[in-house]
Amino acid sequence: MGCFGALAHRFLVADVDGDGHADLGVEREEIRCRPDPSRAGPDVEAPLVPAHRLGPVRWHLFQPGKGWSHAAGHDGERPAGARELPLVGLTKTPVEFVREVTGGSRR
């Protein structure tokens, strides 16, 4: 019957570097099949493996006039106030959501 896999991304919003600007964290998750050692043949797959993280959260820091850029020095950090950006069922634009959770202005 074959097997499928899925790759998903979670987006986090936090001021990871403490500069007063909202930064974006990206965490990758994967769902996949794994080989079933009890069955013959290397191509036989078993049930799906639950979602698991693929490495640490990667942070992209915001700098006015430059936008977001990856900052490896903050990768793996999970600030206490970090919020997940819900992309499914979102009733606001991502920009409006970030503005709301960070208390940003409308300018």
pLDDT band at 90 (very low <50, low <70, confident <90, very high): low
Greater model confidence, 71 or 101: 71
pTM value? 0.62
Contact 13, 83 (CB under 8 A): yes
HEC string of the chain equals CCCCCEEEEEEEEECCCCCCCCEEEEEEEEEEEEECCCCCCCCCEEEEEEEEECCCCEEEEEECCCEEEECHHHCCCCCCCCEEECCCCCCCCHHHHHHHHHCCCCC
Task: For the chain, give every domain's residue range.
Answer: 6-102
